[in-house]
């Protein structure tokens, strides 16, 4: 009896392994996206380099490329995206309610957000930290010189809480001037209502490049007072959609590490004998897409649409952009940064 029981248990375990190893079943979000024929993406109301619409309504940015890559992977068309601009207070409700499918909106992953909102963080697409911007004419060189000063800040953000913590910890008695919308905070700072402006350092560089009459008249101070890992979020409870968003982003990182670019992706798919590249691009008989409920060319299409992570970074926020941010922590792990893709295998 004991031996039979063990054999049954082993058989059940083996069967379970077969089930676990099978292709992913389409979740409700993927089903809805396919039925709709487009992805609904929650983005910022306008942050240069991350998500911003031009005069023709065409969106671009590092966060927008996440949406475009997903649409290319699913539909072979990066334009099959509806962008929903969301303020900081609106963003989580929009995702929770199903108004948007994914939220790649310069949003920080924190314990509270992870544990209490019914949302899941996917992959960090920009490692940031909170900073301060001041007019050069103030001659301020450090955030600790802001004692008793007014600082513009957006409500409903980690930025607001970090500012309060920083002020209290350093006995600065900073006077926050709080705004619901980014545009209002921008206008207040540039009109002189606040001595300083605080948000993520990348956001400050973006705002300076886009909004300042003369960017040289404004200085982003060297102090960083927080860790701000930014990246897309999805609703909790739909593991299939979570996996698709996560692995498309990891695919962009893996592509950069292995030299796959927007320009050479077709050539690499046809000629590369590197097993990693073949799995990434669906070369030969490799088909990682079936495990995600996609086809074998899912990442080939995504890379053709937006390039690898490094290309997206340089085009939107790096040296080839008006924002001109250094790669820094957002470099690949083997180049001194924190960007590290899980293996696609």
Of 173, 170, 213, nearest to 189 by C-alpha is 213
Cα dist from 313 to 66, 136, 308, 321, 339, whole Å: 11, 28, 9, 9, 12
Q: Using CA atoms, how far apart are residues 288 and 305, in angstroms rounded to an integer? A: 19
**Sign of the C-alpha dihedral computed for residues 210, 211, 215 and 218 taken in this order:** negative
**Sign of the C-alpha dihedral computed for residues 201, 206, 212 and 217 taken in this order:** positive
Per DSSP, helices labelled H in 150-191 are 158-169, 182-190
Instruction: Compute how many other C-beta atoms are within 10 angstroms of the C-beta atom of residue 192.
Output: 9
Residues whose CB is less than 8 angstroms from the CB of residue 289 and which lie 6 or more positions away in sequence, other chains included? 282, 295, 296, 297, 298, 299
Helix (H, G, I), strand (E, B) or coil at 330: helix
- What is the CA 12 to chain-centroid distance, rounded? 40
Which domains are seen in the chain, by residue range?
A: 28-127+230-327 (3.40.190.10), 130-226 (3.40.190.10)
Residue 134 forms beta bridges with which residues? Answer: 219
Q: For residues 207 and 136, is the Cβ–Cβ distance under 8 A?
A: no
Instruction: Compute how many other C-beta atoms are within 10 angstroms of the C-beta atom of residue 322.
Output: 14
- What is the CA 163 to chain-centroid distance, rounded? 23
Q: What string of pLDDT tens digits covers the 345 residues of the chain? A: 444 444 444 444 444 433 334 444 447 999 999 999 999 999 999 999 999 999 999 999 999 999 999 999 999 999 999 999 999 889 999 999 999 999 999 999 999 999 999 999 999 999 999 999 999 999 999 999 999 999 999 998 889 999 999 999 999 999 999 999 889 999 999 999 999 999 999 999 999 998 999 999 999 999 999 999 999 999 999 999 999 999 999 999 999 999 999 999 999 999 999 999 999 999 999 999 999 999 999 999 999 999 999 999 999 999 889 899 999 999 999 999 999 999 999
Q: For residues 8 and 50, is the Cβ–Cβ distance under 8 A?
A: no
Q: Using CA atoms, how far apart are residues 31 and 245, in angstroms rounded to an integer? A: 14
- What is the CA 66 to chain-centroid distance, rounded? 7
Of 225, 10, 31, 242, nearest to 128 by C-alpha is 225
Cα dist from 258 to 40, 87, 279, 293, whole Å: 31, 37, 12, 24
Q: For residues 72 and 62, is the Cβ–Cβ distance under 8 A?
A: no
Cα dist from 60 to 54, 66, 69, 81, 232, whole Å: 8, 10, 12, 12, 16
Q: What is the pLDDT of residue 220?
A: 94
Angle at 56 between CA 53 and CA 57, to 5 degrees: 40
Dihedral angle, C-alpha 120, 125, 128, 133, nearest 10 ° = -110
The DSSP secondary structure of 234-261, one letter per residue, reads: EETT-HHHHHHHHHHHHHHHHHHHTT--
Q: Using CA atoms, how far apart are residues 321 and 311, in angstroms rounded to an integer? A: 11
């Amino acid at each position: 009896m004991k031996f039979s029981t063990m054999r049954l248990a082993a058989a059940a375990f083996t069967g379970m392994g077969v089930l676990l190893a099978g292709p992913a079943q389409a979740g409700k979000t993927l089903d809805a996206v396919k039925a709709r024929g487009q992805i609904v993406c929650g983005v910022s109301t306008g942050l240069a380099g991350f998500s911003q619409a031009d005069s023709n309504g065409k969106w671009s940015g590092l966060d927008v490329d996440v949406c475009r890559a997903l649409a290319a992977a699913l539909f072979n068309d990066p334009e099959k995206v509806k962008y929903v601009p969301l303020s900081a207070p609106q963003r989580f409700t929009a995702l929770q309610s199903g108004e948007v499918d994914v939220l790649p909106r310069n949003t920080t992953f924190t314990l509270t957000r992870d544990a209490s909102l019914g949302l899941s963080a996917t992959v960090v697409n920009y490692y940031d930290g909170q900073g301060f911007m001041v007019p050069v004419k103030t001659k301020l060189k450090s955030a600790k010189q802001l004692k008793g000063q007014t600082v513009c800040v957006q409500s409903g953000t980690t930025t607001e809480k970090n500012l309060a913590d920083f002020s209290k910890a350093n006995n600065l008695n900073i006077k926050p001037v709080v705004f619901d919308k980014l545009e209002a905070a921008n206008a207040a700072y540039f009109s002189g209502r606040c001595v300083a402006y605080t948000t993520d350092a990348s956001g400050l560089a973006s705002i300076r490049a886009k909004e300042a009459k003369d960017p040289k008249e404004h200085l982003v101070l060297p102090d960083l007072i927080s860790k701000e890992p930014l990246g897309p979020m999805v609703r909790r409870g739909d593991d299939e959609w979570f996996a698709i968003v996560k692995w498309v982003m990891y695919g962009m990182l893996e592509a950069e590490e292995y030299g796959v670019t927007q320009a050479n992706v077709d050539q690499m798919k046809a000629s590369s004998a590197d097993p990693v590249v073949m799995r990434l691009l669906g070369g030969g008989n490799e088909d990682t897409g079936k495990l995600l409920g996609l086809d074998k060319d899912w990442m080939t299409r995504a890379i053709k649409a937006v390039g690898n992570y490094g290309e997206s970074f340089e085009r939107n926020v790096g040296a080839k952009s008006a924002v001109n941010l250094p790669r820094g922590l957002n470099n690949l792990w083997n180049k001194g940064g924190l960007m590290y893709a899980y293996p696609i295998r």
